[in-house]
Structure 1
Amino acid sequence: MRFMSSRMDSFPKCSVCQQQFTLNGPAPYLLPCLHVVCETCVTSAAGGVISCSTCQREVNLTDTHFQKDVVRQKEIFHLTVKHRPTELLCTHEDDGNQAVCWCQDCEDLLCEYCQNMHSNFKVTRSHVVQNFADLEPTFWTVQNFCSIHKYEPLYLFDKSCRKLICARCRIEDHVDHEVEKVDVAAETLTQQLEYHKNELSTLQTRHQAYMQSIRQGTESTDATHNSLKENIRHIFQSLRSQLDQREKDILIDLENHTKETKATQHALLTACEEDKKTCTRVLDYINNVFLFASKSDILGLERYVGEMTRTCLDTAAPQTYAVPTAVFNTNSLSKLKATVSGFGAILTMDMDGKSEIIADRGTQTDDDFMADVEMKHKMDMEELKTKIDSDEKHIESLTKLSDKLNSEIESLKSRIDEKEAIEKKDAKTIDFLLGVTGVVGECDVHLLKTGAVDRSFMLKCIPLKYDKDRVNLDCVHINTEGDLVNSKPGTRPAGEGRLKKYEGTCSTAPLLMDGCPQYWEVENRVSLDKPLPKTWLILEVGVCREEQRDVTHWIGRRPHSYCMIVSHCTTHSGICRKIWKEGKRVLHLPDTLPNTAGASHTLHYGVVYDGARKKIVFIDVKEKKVMSTLDNVDCSEPLWPMFGVYNAHLLTVSMRLVVGSDINMTEEKKAMIVKSLS
């Protein structure tokens, strides 16, 4: 029974429903974390989100395109051949006979009869047919044919579309694309997988060394514990009658300190074991790729394997563990012993101090009294000698501790000097960049990469301002606090050049074209008076060319425009965020706030414009995440920041610009921006 159970456990399981995969059951699909999910769970996922029970990672089905896990499909086939051969029936004639072999070229299971027929036909005589007993894992080289042009082999890989194409596809729909032969593309990615494998093998060795270091640290902690315990007992032997309670307290402190230290080490060991498991899993999967995947399969796997490899490397533990060593603080011990050693000495006493001695002498002879004094003096001398010996040992221990502390102080000074040097270098770098780019006034500058003298790594929090002379006063106005509000002003000052169609305003000047990333934020206070119908807008923030600023009431559907809008959505029956690029919607994020009367919310968004990298990034500041990164932005002409607020008869919107030094630029926010621009 144990053998049967081990064979059953060898089959892969779905990471959601935990059901084992079978050859004729639901197909396995590959998650970005390299775990596997069955087709049933993919099609029935609640809320469009799949949660991997193995690593607790959630995957949004609307943002992720799942592909079949061809590696595990072939693994399941080989496991079925090895452990459940009776389940394999002939697929050549579908006659229900027991299959005995596999044709790699036809991808058919054959019974004995079909095998004989297969070997006799001239067309199939040269096919590779393997008996189940001889079947070993290997990649299959079956020729794939184009789904558009029948019988045309797929032997080219389109690097632009990331797909296999045939010769006719190459001269028709893919004529201007960069292509190369499948063998060449697969060889390149195979080398990349080999590189990932070597890196993960090295990381696995590092995990093992780190775990061994932690175990040695635990042993060292136990040894230190035993040594200190013995030392404590030795110190308190001479003062047991008066210091028993103190000894118990210190022993309890030692036990607690040891438990905390070992608990920390256990936590580190557990975390490292989990990291090692993840590393081993990815490494095993790569090994299976080499066993089961064809060259065309490898092309679709590199993104997942590369992402998991980078995740493993980003969470890599150090090579060794620095063991925190405990010491027993004997501060004031010498003073305490000096006080004890002076107690009970033979002194010249006055009459008031002789009462006890005289009372004792009342029952003793002079010889007895002198013998008692001599004995007491002798005991005092022995005790004093013992304490002096103990003091010498502790002085030696303190000397060693002092040397260690001096060494640590020197090391700390060296670190402080190094940190000050880095800070001075950063300050000089910022001064240099400020001089090069001419940034003055309210503009705040932040280095995205420490010590980098490069404009592309310098983030400007630019001093944007609403253009009060271009505000569309038919729909919106700027209040006394300087916020853009979705209502008409009490008075309408005269002025030429105001926006007439766009329900909002633009900045006073276009974005700079100096190669430096630029950043600004908008904080919006939104209150719904009535539920929004259809796809009515709440607000918009984005950029566009000068000629697109006043074509319509919002810029999203116009060419050379890039924006994020908040509006009602008929698809989700709620309030959604949508990202638009060049007149096309590229992202749809539901449920920003409820679409109910009286609902209010503060919406805080950030925008990054990087002309050098041709990117625009939209950030949800409150949720601390990047909503979308738009690539290939047309930066050939200046772009103008735009701000829109809408539908005063249904809701109230107040949009405040957060710019320059008012922006709270945390390290977490900088890291998020760096990741989105990389």
Structure 2
Amino acid sequence: MVIDLTHIQLTYVSQYCFVSFRMDTFPKCSVCHQEFTLKGPVPYLLPCLHAVCETCVTSATGGVISCSTCQREVNLTDTSLQKDAVRQKEIFYLTVKHRPTELLCTNDDDGNQAVCWCQECEEFLCEYCQNMHSSVRLSRNHAVHNFGDITPQNLENETICSIHEWYPLDLFDKSCNMCICCQCRRGEHADHDVGYLDEAAEGVTQRIEQHRKDMSALLSRQQTHLQSIRQETQLTNRTQDTLRKTIEHTFRSLRSQLDQREKELLIDLESQTMETKATLHAFETSCEEHHARCTDTSGYIRKCLLYASKSVLLQLETTVEGMTRTCLETASPKTHDVPEAVFNTNGFSKLKSDMSGFGSITTLKEDSEGGTPEDKQTQTDDDYLADLEQKHEMELAKLESNIASQNERTKQLQQLTDKLNAEANNMKLELAKLESNIASHKESTEQLQRLTEKLHAEANNMKLMLAEKDQTCHVALETINRLQTFLIGFPTEGCVHLLKTGVVDRRMVLNCLHLKYDKDRVNLDYVHINTEGDLVNRRSDTRSAGVGRLKKYWGTCSTAPLPRAGCPQYWEMKCRVSLDETLTEYRRILEVGVCREEQRDVWLWLGERPGSYSMSVSHCTTHGRICRKTWKEGKNVLCLPDTLPNTAGASHTLQYGVVYDDARKKIVFIDVKENKVISTSNNVDTSQPLWPMFGVYNPHRLTVSMTLVVGSDINMTEEKKAMIIKALSWW
């Protein structure tokens, strides 16, 4: 049975919801991930007990909501969502506890800072209204709590019946599953099963308390299981390192033996091929001589028929006939069968089988049982005992496992070598038998040549691969050593990347700066920095007048100017944009760039200022859509369409990067998501320090949240490095 009671959910359920979540964390929408605020969209409760804001409920595509926390989909046509009263009270309590400066007096709406809360009136009161509230007869006995004294328990308030005013909801109708007052009891609920609200709430509390205990026990079991898995993972990693070294040594020795055998076979092949070629050459010479005689005779006969007179033909008949008979009686040419050599692979299947079954990775359980039946059939007793001894040594002493494993693998490799030698002897015997049948195989030479070339190619490829691997490792070690020596005393703060492998030079080092928003200079009349550290285009509810705050520019700057490091410096911005309406004219969305110190607060954006370099995202009347515009020294130098659609309700995440190179006097703007360079500004004036600037605009038409991605949080991929290298045009 579900009881829809605000104060019951607050008093009992919320006490246990905070067991798994920190009370200092404001809840967020499971769809748009926006943080709930006291004056923002109302949270609704999903069947999975996660919350979704009212904005996402009303704008759900196809009436289906997908919870990003647990990936469960909810069809709003089949499911009716109720307001999440627990999280509403939670947001209220967290706001009072951690953001009291955002709460203003609601009694006279005079904008004064609130200092207390009237539980019965449900209003915030300033000091003046608190005194007036306590002096009026109707409200002098109200429960008024100072912000420091408010707890989740004293936020509970008596709920009044919406039908019969001034009558509290102190009864519960089990038939209708709803709270009623005593007047409702006498009316349409007269014949229903009705009980006291406190009794019904106590039953619900006991059942929810049992649910909490069940979940606590489950979490404890899961924690124990996770700890066991982590310990097993660590043990597995150590075992993997030990066995990997053993396997590498074993198969390195095996490959050496196979290379030696390959050389012997190639020498035998070369010797037999030379004999076969000599025989074929003798046949070829004899056949060519006979062919030449026949050709000459045939040619002279054609000439006789063409030029000789009848009398001459009669004279030549005897001579021509004699020569023709001589050619015909000579042994007629016949096809000589080329002796064919084959690569005897008898026993190859067994060798492959032995190789495929050679070595195994087994668990300690299998080892304790003495190995598998296949191992016992193929190993001798000595080998089996040695293997068993090694496995016991690995189990008893991890530090001696490498030596024992190498010894055992050496014995197994020797056995395999003996088998290979035996197979080689068998191959030699088979080759001797096949010499008598060489004459019956004509195409052997070509096949043998192809096989020889293939074997040579594979051997050369393997040698090249091994040489390349050794060279790569050597270069990497030298580069690391040089880079470590070079980076000692590097004057920048952040995460350093080497842009070109094997080259250690300050101009080849990319420094991902650790920039920070200057919270003391934020223009609070138009923007502010939220609790997550993001710059948003909403004015701050509390706008303290700071001496150093920006007055004109809609944004903020970094806490310090860019250092003159003599190398490229890099930072990124991740911007979440939601359009409330279609943009027109030159409406700006956001802006990033750098400028000189005196230009930081000249105008509401950087684009038209001298001594500034920036990239802005705004509506463009030229292209009729949202574009990215690059500005240099107060001039628009480039305009490119952006992927953000200019439609109301559109939401998109944009991510841009900025490269500043004071040595080459360049600034590069990069679209990180599209992985391409937007624009490059050359001949940048670096005579004065430049300040990174960040701006967000038009709060009445759209929502912008800009996150600063810096230092080690930047995902510096090889593609991104190549893009930066190409933009700076080094090589």
TM above 0.5: no
- Of structures 1 and 2, the larger Rg is shown by 2
Q: Under a length normalisation based on structure 2, what TM-score does the superposition of the two structures give?
A: 0.38
